[in-house]
Structure 1
Amino acid sequence: MGRPRSRRAASAVLAVLLLCGPVTPPATAATAFKVLQLNLCNSGVAGCYQDGQAVGEAVTMIQRRLPDVVSVNEVCQSDLPRLTAAVGATAGYRFAFARRKTTGANIECTDGRGAYGSGIIVKEGIRSSGHGVYTAQDSGTEVRAWACALSEVRAFTACTTHLSTTATTALAQCEELVPSIVLAHDPTGSATTRHVVAGDLNLRYSPGSATSAQNCVPSGWFRKGDGDVQHVIARALTFVSTQTYAMYRTDHPAFVVNYTF
């Protein structure tokens, strides 16, 4: 009598496996992760201000680039709900309040548009966040600030800042933020937690200079810049590419950094 059909089928499958070798499971596709850095010059005081039109231009940029994180400098707190809505229905934001050195009060945008500063927007929402000012400050009237947020789903940390126009002070502020302040918002304390710090650092990449933007990048982190003063410093992400896009209602381009993880 011949072998049962089920045993013959099993033998055939085994023969195919032996011929083909071990089966390797398909590789997991890398997850894209995008950061958008903007400076909108929207206080109403600087000469680059264009009657708030930079906010609408930023909304269009967000809708076209679809970032996971947006860092936006020189904005009014009242601009953030509109920008956050453009990022997505689940997005949340945290604001960094710039303050007056003489009084400690918030610096206000013109025409009653609220507090002036920077915002960090996270598409997947925010679990916890914080903001503060630097120990190092220059001789000007503005107290420079930062804001950080821990994301709701993937538990990465994203921070924004707009640093001093005095390079030595800007470098000291950058070193204060990265990594100590950033890591303080990571409850895991893990070396593999993803972090991004974006902003107008008022520092340029200048090899050999004591105030090069690269000088505030700790070991294990890396920096990408727009060729001028906007930078993104990151950890535990894989760099893919950068793009800059012209903005016509502010004096800074939009800067995008693409990563995977």
Structure 2
Amino acid sequence: MAVLGAVVALASLVIGPASATGANPPRAVAQAQPLKLLHFNMAGATLNKGQYPIIGRIIREVQERRPDVISLNEVCDRQYAHLLIQLQAIGYPMAGYFQKSRTFVGTCLRLPDTRHEAGNAILVRGTLTGDQGYMFTTNHVLQAREQPTVSESRSVACVTAVFATGGPPVKACSTHLAPKDSGQANPYAAPEAEVRELARVFGPEAAAGPFILLGDLNLLPGNPALGTLYAAPAGTTGEFWEVDQYRNCTAESCAGPVQGGAPSHGEGKIDYAFVSRGHFTFGYQNVQMIDAGNCDSHACSDHRIFRSEVTLG
């Protein structure tokens, strides 16, 4: 079912709560299935220096929100492992995949623990049927491989999962693109090249089956490169809708989907939640950006927690 563009159709979307019970195996549901999405650039290797208080904040969010999909950026491998343990401890186990972005990140190292990698993670409340890591080369070409070279620093973590008995496999990915470089003639050249690669590699998959793409893209709405992800009329050639593209719509009027949405960072909206346009529906104004607060004596992150909900089917 394609995402509905007409305001009447959008207003009629009813998004029910995800199940808060059950173990990791998929649950039997009706044809249309709501999925709660949570994306967070958690600054695990920067502001949080590999420590665990930020994981406690994520666990509190899980207990409150009970998401079906979690995307994390800037997470240390030790933090990811600790998160899996804590999810099990609260009776909400999730399956996931961590893809390192760099071979060594000193701020992740917390002796005597010798783990020292950082990257992206994607977790799901369902049955995991596959996982795949991707790396961007130094020339910003996206390749399906898990091992970065010493000069590479950007990755994508993906899983394929079934969320309901008899339901379709869904591919879900988390990424964090290169930051702007003010020393360049075009400060956004690197993330622009990488977002086009996301469209090149994942666009055909999104056309063929359910796909969720979450991440910090380090680009503001309106950047022409984003048009390769957004489907028309918000974009150009993309196979995705973004969950906040109807923020300016009401039950009475809607000018259509546009690139935009609530700010996720001090610079504005640079975090996105895309879903394949042929397989998901969602209501307008369904996004919440939550200040994560403090972790010990500092801000938990320089990004907000990104909540949204979509319906598969």
Report the residue type matching 1:195 in the other structure: F
Alignment of 1:174-253 (within 5 A): 174-181=195-202, 191=207, 193-205=209-221, 207=222, 209-211=223-225, 213-217=226-230, 218-224=237-243, 226-227=262-263, 228-235=269-276, 236-240=279-283, 241-248=286-293, 249-253=300-304
Distance 2:177 2:239 in 1: 22
Tell me, which stretches of 5 or more residues in structure 1 are unaligned? 1-27, 100-104
Distance 1:200 1:172 in 2: 14
Tell me the matched-pair count: 218
Alignment of 1:1-261 (within 5 A): 30-43=32-45, 46-47=46-47, 51-84=51-84, 85-86=86-87, 89=92, 91-99=94-102, 105-108=103-106, 109-111=108-110, 112-135=114-137, 136-137=139-140, 142-153=152-163, 154-166=168-180, 167-181=188-202, 191=207, 193-205=209-221, 207=222, 209-211=223-225, 213-217=226-230, 218-224=237-243, 226-227=262-263, 228-235=269-276, 236-240=279-283, 241-248=286-293, 249-261=300-312
> Greater share of strand residues, 1 or 2?
1
> Greater share of helix residues, 1 or 2?
1
Which deviates further from its counterpart, 86-95 or 114-123?
86-95
Distance 2:202 2:33 in 1: 26
Per-residue deviation at 1:126?
Answer: 1.4
Which deviates further from its counterpart, 240-249 or 75-84?
75-84
Residues 208-255 of structure 1, C-alpha deviation per residue, up to 9 Å, x if partnerless? x445x4443343311235422110111121012111111121111100
Per-residue deviation at 1:123?
Answer: 1.0
Which deviates further from its counterpart, 149-158 or 249-258?
149-158
SS at match of 1:143: coil
TM-score (norm 1): 0.73
Distance 2:200 2:229 in 1: 9
SS at match of 2:54: helix
SS at match of 1:177: helix
TM-score (norm 2): 0.62
Which deviates further from its counterpart, 239-248 or 156-165?
239-248
SS at match of 2:190: helix
Report the residue type matching 1:118 in the other structure: N
CA RMSD across the alignment: 2.8
Any conservation in 1 of the 2:47–2:301 contact (CA below 8 Å)?
no
Alignment CA distance shift 1:182-1:159 (3 Å): farther
Per-residue deviation at 1:137?
Answer: 3.7
Residues 21-47 of structure 1, C-alpha deviation per residue, up to 9 Å, x if partnerless? xxxxxxx6742111100111111xx35
Tell me, which stretches of 5 or more residues in structure 2 are unaligned? 1-29, 142-149, 181-187, 231-236, 244-260, 264-268, 294-299
Distance 1:125 1:41 in 2: 28
Distance 1:237 1:82 in 2: 32
Q: Which has the higher contact order (CA 8 A, sep 6+)?
A: 2
Alignment CA distance shift 1:110-1:214 (3 Å): farther
Larger radius of gyration: 1
Per-residue deviation at 1:204?
Answer: 1.2
Alignment CA distance shift 1:246-1:202 (3 Å): same
